[in-house]
Each structure stands twice: as structure tokens, then as C-alpha cells.
Amino acid sequence: MPRPEKVQAVAEIKESLQGSEAVFLTEYRGLSVKAVQELRASLRASGAEYKVVKMTLARLAADDAGITGLDEHLLGPTALAFAKSDPVATAKALKDFSKSHEVFILKAGVLSGTILGPEEVSRLAEIEPREILLAKIAGAAKAPLVQAAGLFASFNRSAATMFQQLLEKKESGELAPAGGESTATLPAEEPVETETAVSAEEE
């Protein structure tokens, strides 16, 4: 029978998985404590939380959360970055950190139930910031203030789905990188449904 503390740990990881707009898997092997603290601060600024967890527990939590395809990435010294509000900002923070820390590896991500490879996470980081997307949505809507407010609320509920659609458009070449011009229309909205020490041992 599983120990109560193990059951509790799995439940906490599952809650973080289900309560995040996106989750990114990273390998932190070789990073100093100071570097990890720097990364955590950067991720907090993007609205994300960075956790080092045991991989056996993470695999159980992913299974319980109905997330498939992660087992091959949940190996070795892996830490999870939970994007609570803005997947793009979190992906950008991780990518920027990896540029100055060669040992840091972006392994994979989960966005709207889809498994992203490292290249896709990198491309997600290049999508325009949330504020710019909101401004474009507001401009495209050309709606009265009340309708615009409802649109923003809907965006918050379905942010992960929208970012996934934007990523697909970027991969197909329909969406230009930040700073470039694009003739693509924004995707339609769809309704969507304790910090651990760096020295944590993975099983």
C-alpha cells in the first residue's frame, strides 16, 4: 500500500499539472544553486512555478491526470515548470535562460493536452506576448466595451487552446514571428475546461 506522504505528493503534482495552462520539462543537471534560484525568479516573473520532483511520482501524477506520452521525458534529473497564466512568457523565460546556461536542457512541454518537443517549445517562445495578442483580439473584435470585457474573460479561460492554435499556425507558416507582419486571422476561441530542493533525488 502506498505511503500517505507518497499519495499526497502525487496528488500535489497532479493538481499542478491540471491547474496549469502549460507544463515544461527541463533537465537541470550541472546547474548551480545560484543559477536555479535565478531561473526560479525569472519564472515567477512570468507567472510560473519551478519544481524538482521525483520522476516516479511525476509519472504516476501524469497518468492520474490523463496525460499520455510523457514517460519517455520523465527520466533523469528533471524539473517541471508550471505555467499558471501565460505559456508563451514561461517558454520565453526558459529559452532565454538556456541561452546563457548550456547545461540547461528544454526536454518537452504539454500544452492543451498536446506533447511539445524542444523545437516546438522554442517556437512557442517566439509568439508575441499575451498583451499584444489581447490588443489584437480587441482590435479585431471592434466591439463595445462590454463585449470586449467578455472577450477578455473568454480568452483567460481558453488561453492554452489559443496558444496551441497559434503555435500550429506558426509551424505552418501562417503566423509571422514577433515583430514581423502576418495576414493570419487569430484562432476562434474554444471553451476549455512546495517548492522542492534542487537536491531532490529522482527514482
Residue pair 108/121 in contact by the 8 Å Cβ criterion: yes
Rounded Cα gap, residues 98 and 78, in angstroms: 15
Q: Is the pLDDT of residue 169 over 80?
A: no
Q: In this structure, is residue 23 part of a structural domain?
A: yes
**Are residues 80 and 12 part of one domain?**
yes
| Final residue in a domain of this structure, among 93, 108, 124 | 124
State the pLDDT at residue 165.
Answer: 64
Domain boundary residue among 106, 124, 142?
124
User: Are 69 and 105 in a shared domain?
Assistant: yes
Q: What is the CATH number of the domain that holds 34?
A: 3.30.70.1730
Q: Domain total for the chain?
A: 2
Q: Which ranges in 46-178 belong to alpha helices (H)?
A: 55-64, 87-100, 118-124, 130-141, 145-157, 159-172
Q: Which of 9, 20, 157 is nearest to 81 (CA)?
A: 20
Residue 196 in contact with residue 51, Cβ under 8 Å? yes
pLDDT on residue 105: 93
Number of Cβ within 10 Å of residue 16's Cβ equals: 19
Does 101 lie in the same domain as 29?
yes
Same domain, 109 and 14: yes
For residues 71 and 4, is the Cβ–Cβ distance under 8 A?
A: no
What's the confidence (pLDDT) of residue 190? 42
Phi and psi angles of residue 122, each rounded to the nearest 5 degrees, phi first:
-65, -40
Residue 162 domain-assigned (yes or no):
yes
Mean pLDDT across the chain: 76
Verify that 72 and 149 share a domain, yes or no. no
User: Do 9 and 104 share a domain, yes or no?
Assistant: yes
pLDDT range class, residue 174, cuts 50, 70, 90: low
| 165 located within any domain | yes
Highest mean pLDDT among 47-51, 67-71, 72-76: 47-51
- Note whether 118 and 136 are same-domain residues: no
Q: Which of 78, 100, 124 is the last residue of a domain?
A: 124
CA 8 – CA 5 distance, rounded (Å): 5
pTM of the model: 0.66
pLDDT band at 168 (very low <50, low <70, confident <90, very high): low
Position 202 pLDDT exceeds 70 = no
Residues 43 and 139 in one domain: no
Residue 56 lies in a domain: yes
Same domain, 108 and 134: no
Tell me, what's the pLDDT at 59?
A: 94
Burial class (CB in 10 A: 0-12, 13-18, 19+), 2: exposed
pLDDT value of residue 94? 95
Asked if the structure places residue 201 within a domain, the reply is no
- 80 and 12, same domain (yes or no): yes
Residue 100 sits in the same domain as residue 146:
no
Domain of 116, in residue numbers: 4-124
Residues 104 and 136 in one domain: no
Determine the Cα–Cα distance for residues 203 and 200; give it in Å rounded to an integer.
10
